[in-house]
Amino acid sequence: MAEVLTKPSRRIRNMVAKELRLIIKDKVAILLIFLLPAVLIGMLWYVTDSSGMGGMDLGGGMGGGIGGGEDTTNDTITTTTSVVTNVTETTDEITLGVVDLDTTRTYDGGDLSENLTAYFEMFVDKIVHFNTTANAYRALYETNIDFYVVIPDGFEANLTNNEPTYVEVHYDGNDFLGSSAYTGIIQGATILFRVSKLWIRSEIFPGMTIEFTPGGGFLEAIFGGFIVIFSSYLGIAMTSAQSIVGDEPLRRMLLTPTNRLEVIVSKVLGYVIIGFLQSLLLVTLWVLAFSLELSTSFFSLVIIMSLSALTGSATGILISAIANTRLQANQMFLFVLFATLILSGFFIDVGALNDILPMNQGNALLIDTAFKGLSLLQVLDRILTLGAFTIIAILLATFVFARKPTLG
């Protein structure tokens, strides 16, 4: 009985070893898996270094925990912007947090800070008021609000005396799509506020503070993180997409008692091992090349990258199971490549798909742990989503593979 039970595991172990031998013999595959991602990291390093944008810290504190909002020493970038007459409408609800710290009452009319808040309300769907900056910072950290504005003490006095007046605007540095909209909202509200008072000389300068940005450079961290997840997921998927179709040794192996599920599982495991090694390389290059100071451990990063490689392996195996020829596998992978890029959520908002697609979940995992300092237990829902996607892909690949008359 024990011998019967160990046979499937022994067969899977042998097939994993066979798959690894085939991958190692394929020099081009090894080149694509390990060298090309390293080249992408090198290109990002070259571009940021030569353009003078390397190491740019766009304000805020990474924090890695709650309470950073109390820190008044955060760097900000204050800019004078041109007039904005409208704000681009979006389908997503925008929630603004307001921290009104102003206690001065020097204006003959109503409270100016409350009046400015009323104009903010014209541009957003919802306003949440906070008593302290720490509470607003926590709400931003937990994504209960999209951004928040701090109206400092002395706001009304400075305006009535025609002195420079500042408001602090804090938003999540990982929210690429919303950052421009938030800037437009602040500009539009402050302009309407000044026009309503017929003030020409009194200026309101927004100090933009980007939160949850890792130390070592904003651009290198954000774009480098995207490259790391992209390479881990699609790099493995590209290679594993050729793992079944046209596999001559597999034809002979299927004449043995080996079933199709064992074949799929062994191939996924083989490429996950390669993905784990790739993850070590990618994370090491990313952190060392840009001297990043992340809010999670190296071990957690490798786990996240390995999960991304696992979903990439399952995706590639599914492609290979569906395809009848290598050409079809290449064409299907190109479709998956461009669809993944478009729907990654990095360039455009994709709504509910952000909570389903594996690369989106992988990128969100990286942001939540490396930038926001969450533990793996706190992002367990995303990990389970990746696991569910992998299981579904494996079962679908087994179903399709079991009904194929030939391997192409």
| pLDDT tens per residue, range 318-351 | 998 898 888 888 899 999 999 998 988 777 778 7
| Bridge partners, 96 (sequence order) | 127, 147
Give the relative orientation of helices 260-290 and 218-240 as an angle to the nearest 10 degrees: 160
pLDDT of residue 65: 36
pLDDT of residue 183: 85
The encoded tokens of residue 330 equal 């290449």
**Where residue 111 falls among pLDDT bands split at 50, 70, 90?**
confident
Strands 204-211 and 147-151: unpaired
- The full DSSP string for 230-298 is HHHHHHHHHHHTTSSTT-HHHHHHTTSS--HHHHHHHHHHHHHHHHHHHHHHHHHHHHHHHT-B-SS-H
Cα angle 56-77-54, degrees, rounded to a multiple of 5: 10
pLDDT of residue 201: 62
Q: Which of 104-108, 246-250, 325-329 has the lowest mean pLDDT?
A: 246-250
From residue 396, alpha-carbon distances to 24, 233, 265, 389, 390 in Å are 27, 19, 12, 11, 10
Q: What mean pLDDT comes out for the span 257-269? A: 79
Q: What is the mean pLDDT of the chain?
A: 78
AA identity, residue 299: F
CB 288 within 8 A of CB 220: no
Residue 17 has pLDDT above 50, yes or no: yes
pLDDT of residue 217: 65
Which residues are CB-contacts of 404 (< 8 A; sequence separation ≥ 6)? 321, 324
Q: What mean pLDDT comes out for the span 194-209? A: 77
Which residues are CB-contacts of 310 (< 8 A; sequence separation ≥ 6)? 268, 272, 275, 386, 390
Q: Which CATH superfamily is domain 68-211 in?
A: abc type-2 transporter like domain (3.40.1710.10)
Q: What mean pLDDT comes out for the span 271-288? A: 84
pLDDT of residue 48: 76
Q: What mean pLDDT comes out for the span 297-301? A: 83
Q: What mean pLDDT comes out for the span 369-381? A: 84
Residue 72 has pLDDT above 60, yes or no: no
pLDDT of residue 54: 54
Q: Coil, helix or strand for 404? A: coil
Strands 204-211 and 77-78: antiparallel
Look at 91 and 233; give whichever has higher pLDDT.
233
pLDDT of residue 160: 83
Instruction: Sketch the domain layout of the chain as residue ranges.
Output: 8-57+216-402, 68-211
Through-space distance between the first and last CA atoms of the chain, rounded to whole angstroms: 37
Which residues are CB-contacts of 227 (< 8 A; sequence separation ≥ 6)? 37, 40, 41, 44, 286
Q: What mean pLDDT comes out for the span 279-297? A: 81
